Chain A
Amino acid sequence: MTFLRRFARNRGALIGLLVLALIVAAAVAAPVLYPTSPWRMVSRPFMAPFALERFPLGTDALGRDVAAGLMHGARVSLLIGFVSTLVALLIGVPLGAVAGYFGGIVDDLCMRFTELFQTVPSFALAIVIVAILQPSITSIVLAIALVSWPPVTRLVRGEVLSLRSRDYVQAAITVGQRTPRIIFGQVLPNTVAPIIVMASLMIASAILLESSLSFLGLGDPNLMTWGYMVGAGRTRLIEAWWISFFPGLAIFLAVLALNLVGEGLSDALNPRLAREAR
């Protein structure tokens, strides 16, 4: 209860949560409100927004409905954001736990490996991975996950390192609990709070990364995405600004909402730190 109350006191976080709920609603409602494919040409091209009730956000260069694209795009953005973050956590958490728990040479090896991935320009690596594996939802998720796990590893390692010397962990070692059970049963549950905070921020950057890839033409060719829409409207920017403007705004709102929620979670889960930062 105290957690909920602390979260609710943060006005930004509440606004973020509201915006996020609207985007989720759009994603859920997309197949109901726009049952036909967002790729279908439904009207004359270059219809201005707010002119016709049927096409509130106008149409693009091929006469496709921008509003339909936005709502279907929300599905892709959220899906890729969540799944790639999950995959990144699956790589980052175990590696960080092993590094922090065992220490010594294992730690050294894990951290050098992590540093290497942190040095590499992540966007360039993501481009190369998607281009080589061919753009598809799987290769995009894989690429985003492969460039986003290092901060997770560093975070988990740091937490585990400090938890390892706690009395209850030492007690578990003394009574002879097996190592995997100690790591998963005693240590990792206590790192959940910071991981949740980081995950919400990671979803935001995954959405940014996915839209940047689609913008460059590396999106899944079967899926309508926000990044693709911005990129497709690029060449007709002067006559038809709305084709690029609205999808970009959608990305911005989604990322902002997730950042706000992440900050709210961080403050609510860690009230001591929150007070210090003010």
Chain B
Amino acid sequence: MLRFLASRLAKGVVVLLAIAVLNFALIRAAPGDPATVMAGEAGAADEVFVQQLRERFGLDRPMVEQLGIYLKGILTLDLGFSYRQGRSVASLVGERLPATLLLTGSAFAISLLLGTALGALAARRAGTWADTAITTAALLFYATPLFWIALMSQILFSLKLGLVPNVGYETIGAGYTGLARVLDILHHLILPALTLGLFFTALYARMMRASMLETAGSDYVRTARAKGVSPSVVTRRHVARNAILPVVTLAGLQAGQIVGGAILTETVFAWPGIGRLMFEALAQRDYQVLLGVFFVSSAMVVLFNLVTDLVYRAVDPRIQVGG
């Protein structure tokens, strides 16, 4: 187990380094002097600061040396400095990260649980009205633009019906502490997490249904039925447990999508996470923050992939992932 973890972590570090190189390439792909690009547009940069940037990133030195300096910075968690906010990018991102982890984590859990449950139900009742309803709903939600469904549910559930708060992470100025604060945050979390999770719920439901139907036709399921195992045990132990594997694989691959979706959800619901930070940085063309958020969100995906690998092993002990 430890060896498995170590090999996965090593792979994650390699991926992160590659992403850092990509980041480096991106900032140099910008038209014009990279130092001015890094400083941000709209007159935010004065000549002294631009000169500082040139020296710090060694922009007058060869490209390879520049890359070395950049990677060394990343290794010490130095993601650059936001001139516009007057703070280091690492501290800005660090402050916003918990909110995003909470949102994406909840959406991930909701969609995986709900999606597999609905997909399994649809497969068990294949051909009935329940199946038709679930399949149709999944098809529709799969095509819905996330930012639009977020806006529409914001109008309906909070502005018109008043069921949940409109925007934000907690009630500002209420001064809740302890359990009251946790409940307040959860109350704010419901709508963003559900809208973010909806698309993925639809995706996993479709996948689970197809996977269940495929598994149900296999020989070992027929054998289990023939030897008199009760139908519910066959469904649970033989079919569902095997059918869920491709869904978990897919969920791991989709982790980046959830993080991307969080940018839109956080923008609509003013959820104070790194996605909202990215949106704010976008308006100001604060490239240092944009690239910082991009790097950290990539790191989150690596983390999500690690978690799904662990879940994978828990669900199916036969599989020796990566050895």
Contacts and interface: CB of A to CB of B under 8 A. Distances in A.
Interface in B287-323: 287, 290-291, 293-294, 297-298, 300-302, 305
A125 B263 CA distance: 12
Contacts of B298: 119-121, 124
Interface residues of B, number: 54
Contact of B154 (A133, A237, A245, A255): A237
A234 B152 CA distance: 10
A39 interface: no
Given A119-B15, A122-B256, A216-B282, A237 B159 contact: yes
B145 A252 contact: yes
A127 B30 contact: no
Interface in A224-273: 227, 230-231, 234, 237-238, 241, 244-245, 248, 251-252, 255-256, 259-260
Interface stretch (B18-26, B75-83, B230-238): B18-26
Contacts of B217: 276
B22 to A, nearest CB: 7
Interface stretch (B52-60, B86-94, B136-144, B190-198): B136-144
Given A217-B282, A245-B152, A251 B256 contact: no
A55 interface: no
Nearest to B126: A278
A212 interface: yes
B29 A124 contact: no
A118 interface: yes
Interface residues of A, number: 45
Contacts of B260: 121-124
Contact of B143 (A116, A120, A231, A256): A256
A128 B291 contact: yes
Interface of A: 12, 115-116, 118-125, 127-129, 131-134, 204, 208, 211-212, 215-218, 227, 230-231, 234, 237-238, 241, 244-245, 248, 251-252, 255-256, 259-260, 276-278
Interface of B: 15, 18-19, 22, 26-27, 29-31, 37, 139-140, 142-148, 151-152, 154-155, 159, 210, 213-214, 217, 253, 256-257, 259-261, 263-264, 267-268, 278-279, 282-283, 285, 287, 290-291, 293-294, 297-298, 300-302, 305
Given A121-B300, A231-B147, 4 more contacts: A119-B305, A127-B294, A234-B151, A251-B148
